Structures are given as C-alpha cells and as structure tokens.
Amino acid sequence: MSKQTGKKSTVAGATAWEPRIVAFLCNWCSYAGADLAGMSRLSYPAAIKVIRLPCSGRVDPMFVLKSFERGADMVLVSGCHPGDCHYSSGNYHARRKLPAFRELLSFLGIDPRRFKVSWVSAAEGAKWSALVARITEEAYALGPFEAFPQCDADDFGECEFAAQGPACAAAASANEDRP
C-alpha cells in the first residue's frame, strides 16, 4: 500500500501537505461541466486530478480502491444528472452501486467521507467549481489518507488484525486452508 499522501508545496521555504483528489468524470456531462468552468474562468483548487470515462456507470469500485492504494486522499465520481445519461441508464446503475460500495468502505479501513458522488451537468460550470472547492476543504479537514494497516506476521495466529477478518496475506492464506 502506498504511503503517498499528496504533494508538497513550498511557501516561503516551508513545506505544506496538499490533498490529492482523484475525480472520475463522465465525458458527456461532468467533464464538459469542468471544461465550462475553465472556459468561464472560474477558478477551483488544483488538488483535483481528473480521469475521463464514457459514463459514471463505467466506474468500477476497484477504480476507487486502486486510487486510494496509489495515494489518493479523496475520490470523487461525477456524472450526468439522473435521467440525463448519454447511455440512458448508466448513472442509474452508478446511483445504486456506489452508495452500496460506500457502505463497505469502513470495513476496508477507509473513512466513507473520503468518497464523494455528485451529479454535474455540462451547463454547471459554477457548480463544478463550487463542488471542487468544497470537497478540497473537506480533504484538508480529513488530512492525509493513511495506508491500509499492514500485517507482517508470518502466522495468522500472530496477526494483530486477525480478529477483524482477512486483513492481511497470512489471514487470507489461512482462510484458503479452511475446508
């Protein structure tokens, strides 16, 4: 698990932590909304790193987990408003799938507040700008995402997380050995 927790910036010789926010945006609405914000010269924090996808329904929960694994402090998924999906029902799938996924984040050791879902249309550049400003503030308040706990015990019985289930390789292999 990566220990990366964001970039360092230098201000008058001092270094300060900055959050790293990964945003999965659907091509047809939210990406266009972010583009409109830029064209309208609406500023928003640079902490956000945009990944463009065809549709919010394309977001696999593993994309979110991989983002945290690779050093994200917060992850945002944004797509067309319900009813406006370019593919008719992609965001309906996202609307059902992603909140259910959020319910599991605590179990995985991730604060659910670090995962956001929001609908932004191509005409909502101002909403995009305000959204990024708001979640960046929240990311600062939450602080750096700490890596998932690592278990270096050779034996499942020695693992300090054993009581929490398969939180390490030793626990996983112990589970495999079970009949």
Alpha carbon 82 to its chain centroid, in Å, reads: 21
**Main-chain phi, psi angles of 135, to 5 degrees:** -75, -25
Choice from 28, 128, 145, 156 touching ligand FES (CB under 6 A): 28
Choice from 56, 118, 121, 129 touching ligand FES (CB under 6 A): 56
Beta strands in 72-174 (DSSP E): 74-79, 115-119
Instruction: Give me the least distance between CB of 34 and ligand FES, in Å please.
Output: 13
66-74, 82-90, 98-106, 130-138 -> range binding ligand FES (CB under 6 A): 82-90
CA neighbor of 131 nearest in space, from 52, 21, 5, 54:
21
Residue 78 within binding range of ligand FES, rule CB under 6 A: no
Q: Which two tokens stand for residue 36?
A: 């409109």
Instruction: Give me the least distance between CB of 91 and ligand FES, in Å please.
Output: 4
Instruction: Give me the least distance between CB of 61 and ligand FES, in Å please.
Output: 16
Instruction: Give me the least distance between CB of 30 and ligand FES, in Å please.
Output: 7
- Contact call for residues 168 and 161 (beta carbons, < 8 A): yes
Residue 98 within binding range of ligand FES, rule CB under 6 A: no
Residue 33 within binding range of ligand FES, rule CB under 6 A: no
Residue 90 within binding range of ligand FES, rule CB under 6 A: yes
Q: Which amino acid is at 72?
A: A
User: By three-state DSSP, how is residue 87 classified?
Assistant: coil
Distance in angstroms (rounded) separating the CA atoms of residues 113 and 120:
19
The DSSP letter of residue 64 is H
Distance in angstroms (rounded) separating the CA atoms of residues 46 and 24:
15
The DSSP letter of residue 83 is T
Instruction: Give me the least distance between CB of 118 and ligand FES, in Å please.
Output: 12
Residue 80 within binding range of ligand FES, rule CB under 6 A: yes
Instruction: Give me the least distance between CB of 82 and ligand FES, in Å please.
Output: 9
Residue 55 within binding range of ligand FES, rule CB under 6 A: yes
Residues near ligand FES (CB under 6 A) are 26, 28-29, 55-57, 79-80, 85-87, 90-91
